[in-house]
Amino acid sequence: MAIHYRTRKVVKPGDLNSRNTLFGGRLLEWIDEECGVYAACQMETQTLVTKSMSALNFLAPAQQGDVVEIGADTVSVGHSTITVECHVRIKSTQREIVSIDEIVFVNVDDNGRPTRHGKYAEWKAKAG
């Protein structure tokens, strides 16, 4: 499955840890935001919340001034969920920084309970 890179971020001084590389927490914030936007666009809803992330595999550091690219793609769709994968790389070298196999988002109602998003049948038909 080919990942489409949709977001680019510049690593700035405020994004660095004590080793002067990109702080993992900042990167996770960017990943959660980008993948959440991606998932919401796919499901045509603004009521998704992050449920879980599979293990993270940090492969390389990013330095101040690096442009990082964040890509996401759909893994599966349930009646109230969408699962996406995410890869982050350094734009100039294409070197992968981190990969996450599964990030699960759940569509919720006004009370925070899972509710159908209405895209399950459409996704199943497309997935074949």
pLDDT digit string, tens, across residues 10-27: 999 999 999 999 999 999
Architecture of domain 4-127: Roll (3.10)
Radius of gyration of the chain (CA): 16
pLDDT of residue 1: 56
pTM over 0.85: yes
Residue 101 confidence (pLDDT) above 70: yes
What are the C-alpha distances in Å from 96 to residues 14, 76, 86? 22, 23, 11
pLDDT of residue 80: 96
The mean pLDDT value for 48-60 works out to 95
Residue 127 confidence (pLDDT) above 80: no
Strand-pairing partners, residue 87, are 71, 99
Mean confidence (pLDDT) of the chain: 94
Helices (H), 16-84: 24-43
The answer to whether the beta carbons of residues 88 and 68 sit under 8 Å apart is yes
The letter for the amino acid at 126 is K
